[in-house]
Amino acid sequence: MVAGNPKKGSRTLDAATRLAQEITGRAPDTVVDVITLGPGLLGWGDQAVSDAVRAVASADLVVVASPTFKATYSGVLKLFLDQFATGDGLRGVVAVPLMLGAGPAHALAPDVLLKPVLVELGAITPAPGLYLRDSTYTTDGAITGYTARWAPVLTALSGTQRGET
């Protein structure tokens, strides 16, 4: 699970964790709160960034989350995604793009903006992205509705099964 919010411990991190847990039936094995990687994101070769990239690249299923900033995903998420090799950095990884925002104006952002980047890196993105309102995602049932429809597809393709560790 990757959360690319410039604020440590953000609602984006919480929403992504909730979604990953709903999809798989367990807590995420790997959690990358990108902002905690700090200035190592600005270049190549930082050990903590390299470790995070390896962990995400070796995952079967990853939720990649961002708040909506200026109608797109965050710069810190872009810095992290730039660390992956184009074409095969996420080869074989089933990815779920997730974005949060204040209102419905950017509801297509996960599919129009974030999903193409994940595909460019080699990820498999069989389900539509999920857009959540940051003020209601804990109570509006959107995560539950999404997982009711898409968790079987995502877990089957990723090889993860609900409840397995």
Query: What domains are there in the chain, each with its CATH number?
Result: 2-158 (3.40.50.360)
| Phi, psi angles (nearest 5°) of residue 32 | -115, 105
What order do you get walking across the sheet with 32-33 strand by strand? Answer: 32-33, 2-3, 61-67, 94-101, 130-133
Please report the pLDDT score of residue 69 as a whole number.
Answer: 87
pLDDT per residue as tens digits for the range 105-148 = 999 999 999 999 999 999 999 999 999 999 999 999 999 999 99
Sign of the Cα pseudo-torsion (89, 107, 77, 9, in order): negative
Please report the pLDDT score of residue 70 as a whole number.
Answer: 86
Please report the pLDDT score of residue 165 as a whole number.
Answer: 30
SS (H, E, C) 100-128: EECCHHHCCHHHHHHHHHHHHCCCECCCC
8-state DSSP, 93: -
Please report the pLDDT score of residue 114 as a whole number.
Answer: 98
3-state helix, strand, coil in the chain (%, to 5): 45, 15, 40
Residues of the chain with pLDDT under 70: 160-165
Each as own residue / partner, the long-range contacts of residues 153-161 (CB below 8 Å, 24 or more positions apart, any chain) are 153/126, 153/127, 154/23, 154/61, 154/94, 154/96, 154/126, 154/127, 155/23, 155/24, 155/61, 157/94, 157/124, 157/126, 158/60, 158/61, 158/93, 158/94, 159/60, 160/24, 160/60, 160/61
Supply the pTM of this predicted model.
0.94
Q: Tell me which residue has tokens 């974005």.
A: 99
Please report the pLDDT score of residue 159 as a whole number.
Answer: 83
120 close to 82: Cβ distance less than 8 angstroms? no
